[in-house]
Amino acid sequence: MDSNLLKGHLDLILLAILEGGPMYGLEISKQAQTETGGYFELRVGSLYPALHRLEQSGAVQGEFRPAPRGGAPVKYYWLTEDGTRELARKREEFSTFSRHLQSLGQSS
């Protein structure tokens, strides 16, 4: 996948994944890969800055909790009410974009 496409839709991808409930970074990355047959590969260098940005904006909330298999605590993230609204807005925006993109060149 073109990394520029991923970058442009990373917030939408993360919000959609977190719609399923609280997850920590590695879980989010694995979920993205699993649900898309490996199409989305979220790298640490883009994943955590995006999660931090979404947390700063109030779309997600984060909290350190014990790691599922022991060890150091990990930060779980989940959608806030604002995040749920933002996800709906981004989905509609993407749907409109995709619909208009599909119509290009079809009228000739």
- Residue 78: its H or E element: strand 74-79
Pairwise CA distance, residues 29 & 39, whole Å: 11
pTM, rounded to two decimals: 0.87
Q: What SS3 class is residue 58?
A: coil
CATH number for the domain harbouring residue 35: 1.10.10.10
pLDDT at 60: 98
Is residue 17 domain-resident? yes
Is residue 18 domain-resident? yes
62 has pLDDT over 60: yes
Total number of domains in the chain: 1
pLDDT at 16: 97
Is residue 108 domain-resident? no
Is residue 22 domain-resident? yes
The mean pLDDT of 83-94, rounded to a whole number, is 96
The mean pLDDT of 18-46, rounded to a whole number, is 92
Is residue 76 domain-resident? yes
At 6, the pLDDT band (50, 70, 90 cuts) reads low
Buried b / exposed e along 35-61 (16+ C-beta atoms within 10 A)? eeeeebebeeeebeebbeebbeeebbb
Give the domain extent around 11.
3-101
Is residue 106 domain-resident? no
Pairwise CA distance, residues 26 & 42, whole Å: 9
82 or 102, higher pLDDT: 82
